Amino acid sequence: MPAKPAWYARLDEIVADLTALPSPWITRGTIEFLLGVGPRRAQQIMKSCAVEQVGTSLVADRQLLMAHLTALARGESAHYELQRQRKLATALQRLRDDYLARPKVLIEAPVEIVNQRIDDLPRGIDLSRGRITVEFRTPVEALEKLLALAMAIGQDPARFEQIIST
């Protein structure tokens, strides 16, 4: 199935813009601008509405063009395109909401580390004014303690700031 024109979703806005124009004649350039299409497609769209020739260029009657675009907007393919765009927007919004609602954990961690509190940090992590000390024996232990500290800070950033600032 061929792709639907991107301007289908904006047809009401386009018709309103056409209504606001002072001239009853619409040029190909105006159609290109309003619909965001190239010269060839603009020429195809205005072909059935072109009633005058100015120099070597055709101009379309604004009322005929608006009726033509309105008929396109009421067409079945436009309806399904708008419905598809709404579904896509809803799905994207749902994904965005889910992404924002869940904490970003890049590694798997035990529950006790994920729910870590500043007041219950593992032995070997000390917080004081202007200083954070982490004591460890192995690289894995160092990573676990750093993760616990990060999770605790994420749980209560105000408490962390209070401890290291005073």
Using CA atoms, how far residue 131 sits from 119, 122, 144, in Å, is 16, 16, 19
More confidently predicted of 23 and 3 = 23
- Full set of structural domains in the chain with CATH: 6-99 (1.10.10), 111-165 (no CATH)
Average pLDDT over residues 116-122: 91
Nearest Cα neighbor of 134 from 150, 155, 117 is 150
Mean pLDDT of the chain: 85
Can you read off the two tokens belonging to residue 67?
């009726």
Q: How confident is the model at residue 23 (pLDDT cuts 50, 70, 90)?
A: confident
pTM of the entire structure? 0.45
Least-confidence region, from 4-13, 29-38, 92-101, 131-140: 4-13
Nearest Cα neighbor of 151 from 112, 124, 97, 123 is 112
DSSP state of 106: S
Average pLDDT over residues 117-146: 92
Q: How confident is the model at residue 58 (pLDDT cuts 50, 70, 90)?
A: confident
